[in-house]
Amino acid sequence: MSYVLAIDQGTTSSRAIVFRSDISIAAVAQQEFPQHFPASGWVEHEPEDIWTSTVMTCRDALEKAGLAAKDIAAIGITNQRETTVVWDRATGQAVHRAIVWQDRRTADTCAKLKAEGHEPMISQKTGLIIDPYFSGTKVAWILDQVPGARKRAEAGELLFGTVDCYLLWRLTGGKVHATDATNASRTLLFNIHTGQWDEELLKLLRVPRSLLPEVQDSSHLFGETTTDLFGGRIAISGIAGDQQAATIGQACFRPGMMKSTYGTGCFALLNTGATPVASKTKLLTTIAYQLGGKRTYALEGSIFVAGSAVQWLRDGLGIIKRAAETGPLADKSDSMQSVYLVPAFVGLGAPYWNPNVRGALFGLTRNTGPAELAHATLESVCYQTFDLWAAMRADWPDATAANIVLRVDGGMTASDWTMQRLADLLDAPVDRPMIQETTALGAAYLAGLAAGVYPEPSKFADNWRLEHRFKPNMSAATRERKLKGWARAVRGVLASDEGE
């Protein structure tokens, strides 16, 4: 039993990866599932699609690796974090589609809570700001909008969970209703200092306590799968939200280590150790992981649109057929043009946090074409990362360029063009690891740690291998000019604030 199965349940697809005891990959399976957009700014998933795609990919990965349930020491789960599911305790049926982290439908609720002056208290307890991004207001929306749901919730008939929690419940045949500290810390309902659900927050957001799961360490024996799923019982002993799992997979165990993941969105986490750092620049204070009852904290910056901007080039504008074409196309752009894309398709995340603004292109000329749009799209991800980088350095006194290690992962890091531009604009080295599946690896590590397959963090960190270091080579004058242009473009978008 020297294999670990990682479930990586993401925003657009479910994946399963089998890792060996030396962290090499034995098999990978992936399945996309439909996205639902019932109104502007609304994003939903069918919970059954999440469940069936997860089970199918696990079975596929085991089959590809030629393994059975008896060969797997443990399962680790990592997940899209704030996505919210409410389901029937008796039947497991969801009472509404899952409301995805990107969804903005509770913007008015959030604005009202801010206007009433609740944000300082919420931020102090949760490390978060009031925003539709987080789960708390999504739960309340489901309870208010689904006929009879609030009454049933108060009677103890319904359960709430983030995707990890929902999958755990289904995998264990409804026996275990639990989550880990990283996912709990993304709900607006959890006190990151006490490590408990907070009664004052529950009352304010009108979420009944009976809905909530138990909160455990990230590496913990949560339960076992039912025998019918994979032909035998498998222990489930690791859970972390996707960005925290990537932080672990990147072996960012020391304060000052930072990882930036480029998937649908972009998420940067900076390990700040045992002390939560309260942000003055609208970053989030979050739990990076909890091991042995001890919480390690991080500063986090969330960008809502990264890889999805490349999808927009492909599916919306039709100027590329595959994401891999974007870098070579950007390389052909006219260097005399300064085109900026502010990809606020669903509002702006950190450090601006404005759900109402929408995206815009600046600097268009008659000669602007596909190459310039590709250039602006890839660069927009680098500029947004710079904004997070600058905010983190402002918030954490120890965060100088000299002692921050930036490790990157996610689909977009395959683009050398983008990673080089990132190093240029940050004026700092960017490290890309040998194993790109860092999110799944983090989940596998947490499960394998509990199962005795993997060693303690410091020894695990020795396995991290550098594939390529991108070093900055842009002149200071060019960097400054480009960053000023980006700042002007963002100001232009923020000034519009038209909303829906």
10, 155, 251 from 143: Cα distances, Å: 25, 12, 39
The answer on pLDDT for 405 being more than 90 is no
pLDDT digits (tens, 9 = 90+) for 346-367: 888 889 888 788 999 999 999 9
- Longest CA–CA span in the chain (Å) reads 65
> Considering Cα of 411, then 414, then 418, then 422, what sign does the dihedral take?
positive
pLDDT band at 435, cuts 50/70/90? confident
Global pTM reads: 0.88
Calculate ∠ Cα 215-219-222, nearest 5°. Answer: 60
What is the mean pLDDT of the segment spanning 55-60?
Answer: 97
What is the arithmetic mean of pLDDT over 111-139? 95
Average of per-residue pLDDT values in the chain: 93
What pLDDT score does 403 carry? 62
**E strands, 69-213, in order:** 72-79, 84-88, 98-99, 158-162, 178-180, 190-191, 196-197
User: If you average pLDDT over residues 312-319, what whole number do you get?
Assistant: 91
Q: Is the pLDDT of residue 497 over 80?
A: no
Closest CA to 245 of 449, 77, 436: 77
Q: Which residues contact 237 (CB under 8 A, 6 or more apart)?
A: 74, 75, 76, 219, 220, 221, 222, 446, 447, 450, 451
Q: What is the band of 165 on the pLDDT scale with cuts at 50, 70, 90? A: very high
